[in-house]
Structures are given as structure tokens and as C-alpha cells.
Amino acid sequence: MKVEELRAILSGSDIEGKIEVLSYLRDVFESYNNSMDDFRELIIALLDCGFKEDKLDVKEEIFNTILTAATYKNIDGINFDILAYNLDSLPEECLHSALTILGFTFKKDYLCYLTKYLDHENRSVRADAINAINEIEGYWAKNNS
């Protein structure tokens, strides 16, 4: 899928089309195909569209799709700063995906953003923050020994 095509669909008004393309992308991300063209650009486009999306169910699907990519593909070369900087603007329904994605980056720079959620009123969000922090700290403990 081309980045321009993805942006056009996600910025359009066809909800079913958006859900369909996100489902397709999740399937692609779960596949064994590790030589995806424009993978980094697709993720950046998904992040951008995710923050712009007004419909909660579509926004959730976008961030779940990014999480699928982070789970099954190598995300080392992707800058997730926009996600870290804008965590506070996300609805609670998207925080599981967002916090988990940041944990999968293994970047210590994101710890300060994650620790803010250790006192969140929602127990699941707190657990997601703990898991993300443990991912990062565990990675560095293992790779520094």
C-alpha cells in the first residue's frame, strides 16, 4: 500500500473504508513479509492520521494497527516522539496501544512520559505504564550486562 493512498483513505469520510484498510494493514504487519516498502512512512502516516481522527472507534483502530506493527515488525528506525509528546491528548481508550508502543521502542527518553501514567485513575492504564517501563528498563538491564 502506498503512503499517499493510506493518507487519502484515512483523511476521508468513509468509516468502513478506513476500518477495512486498517484491518488489511494489521494482516500485512502480522505476516512474515519483512521487506515492506515504505514501512517507516506508513507508520508515520498512521501516527499523523491517528492524532487527527475525530471518531473514537477509528482512532482506536489506528493506534491498534500501529501496535500490531510494533509487535511484529522492527520499529527501531521510527521516531515515536510525536506519540510521546502527545500522549496527554489521547483518549483513555487509545492509551493501552500508545503506552505499549513506546515500551517496544526501548528508548529511555520515553520513560519520563510513561511515568506520568503510574498514578492514572484507571488501573489498566497504570498496568500498561508499568509494563512499558519494564520493557525499556529490562531491555537496558539485559543489554548493559
Q: pLDDT over 70 for what percent of the chain?
A: 99
Q: How many domains does the chain have?
A: 2
pLDDT (tens digit per residue) in 26-36: 999 999 777 77
In a domain, 81, yes or no: no
Cβ atoms within 10 Å of 53's Cβ, excluding its own = 19
- pLDDT of res. 1: 79
Average pLDDT, the chain: 95
Q: Region 94-121: what's the mean pLDDT?
A: 98
Same domain, 19 and 52: yes
Higher-pLDDT residue of 78, 144:
78
What pTM, to 2 d.p., does this model score?
Answer: 0.95
Higher-pLDDT residue of 29, 37:
29
- pLDDT of res. 23: 97
Q: Which grid cell sits at 81?
A: 516522539
Same domain, 67 and 102: no
Domain housing 35:
1-76
Tell me the pLDDT band of 145, cut-offs 50, 70 and 90: low
- pLDDT of res. 115: 98
In a domain, 142, yes or no: yes
Same domain, 38 and 70: yes
Please, which contacts does 111-116 make with residues 24 or more away whose CB atoms are closer than 8 Å?
111/136, 111/137, 113/84, 113/85, 113/87, 116/87, 116/88
